[in-house]
Amino acid sequence: MTTARAAAILLAKELRLEFRTRELLTATVVFAVVVVVLFSFAFDPTAAESRRYGPGLLWIAFLFAGSLMLHPSFGREQANQTLDALRMAPISPFAIVLGKMLANLLFLSVAEVILVPVFAVLYNISLAGIVGRLAIVLVLGTLGVVVTGTVFSAISAHARMRELLLPLLLLPILAPLLIAAVEATASLFSERPVLDRAWLAFLGGFDIVFLTASWLLSDFLLEE
């Protein structure tokens, strides 16, 4: 079975599993909204301030929500020891990791699709005319979060204090992505929205580097 096909099947399994209860998705969205609302207590967002701090807040909300959401990625497998069954299947380890990455990408994207309009309303930022370009930034940024996050979920699944460990490992690694995503989003929220190609290229580069690293190292991630 090819890696792509195996990953697709595993993705379908993850989706089926999640949509049975939708608890992860719900919790993620609610948490992200709470973060966004709490930030509004930290400062009184005037129009100019919203444009300045908004992108940063938005992406920090995504990162926090993401790092909480990514933990069960491999955590759930551990609880039921289903990972052994997956390992024995005639598929490459990368297929397992890729399947989870795609599932996480979808979950986090759904959370973002819900969160961005909420954010726009709360902070009075108009999304008119920038939705498409914003989507590109969101996808590239989320991809980076999900790629590294899934890998670190696999790593921290074997450790003590894994709920705390995952954000601890993930957030420093994602610092460059945070900068790039925030800057790209900021240039879209500005008075004259423009898609910053430099930062977009950076995001793409980040994604490629870590996706490649994950592909090369996935065997070691899923060892006994």
Partner 1 sequence: MKARFGITALVAALLFFAGYAALFIAPDESTMHEIQRVFYFHVALWSAMYTALTIAFVANIAWLATRQPRWDWLGVSAVEVGVVSCTGGLITGVLWGKPAWGIWWTWDARLTTAFLLWLLYIAYLLLRGLLEDPQRRATLSAVFGIFAFLDAPLVYASNRLWRTQHPAPVVFGGDNSGLDPVMGKVLMVCIFALLPVMILLLVDRYRLERMRHEVDELRLAVESGAARPNSAVTKGAI
**CB-nearer residue toward partner 1: 14 or 183:** 183
Please identify which residue in the block is written with the tokens 């996050």: 149
Is there binding between residue 121 and partner 1 (CB under 8 A)? no
User: Pick from 58, 169, 188, 200: which binds partner 1 (CB under 8 A)?
Assistant: 169
User: Pick from 52, 173, 204, 215: which binds partner 1 (CB under 8 A)?
Assistant: 173
Map the footprint of partner 1 across residues 71-110, applying CB under 8 A. Answer: none
At its nearest, how many Å lie between partner 1 and the CB of residue 66? Answer: 16
Is there binding between residue 158 and partner 1 (CB under 8 A)? yes
> Residue 99 phi/psi, 5° resolution?
-55, -45
Q: How far apart are CA 154 and CA 222, in angstroms?
A: 7
Is there binding between residue 208 and partner 1 (CB under 8 A)? no
Give the Å distances, CA to CA, from 201 to 34, 89, 181, 184, 208.
Answer: 31, 37, 11, 10, 10
User: Pick from 5, 113, 194, 220: which binds partner 1 (CB under 8 A)?
Assistant: 220
Q: Are 97 and 135 in contact (CB under 8 A)?
A: no
* Helix H or strand E segment including 33: helix 23-42
* Helix H or strand E segment including 150: helix 131-156
Window of 45-53, 59-67, 68-76, 163-171 that interacts with partner 1 by CB under 8 A: 163-171
Q: Which two tokens stand for residue 190?
A: 């500005």
Q: Are 103 and 109 in contact (CB under 8 A)?
A: no
Give the footprint of partner 1 on this chain (CB under 8 A). 148, 151-152, 155-156, 158-161, 165, 168-169, 172-173, 175-177, 179-180, 183, 198-199, 202, 205-206, 209-210, 213, 217, 220-221, 223
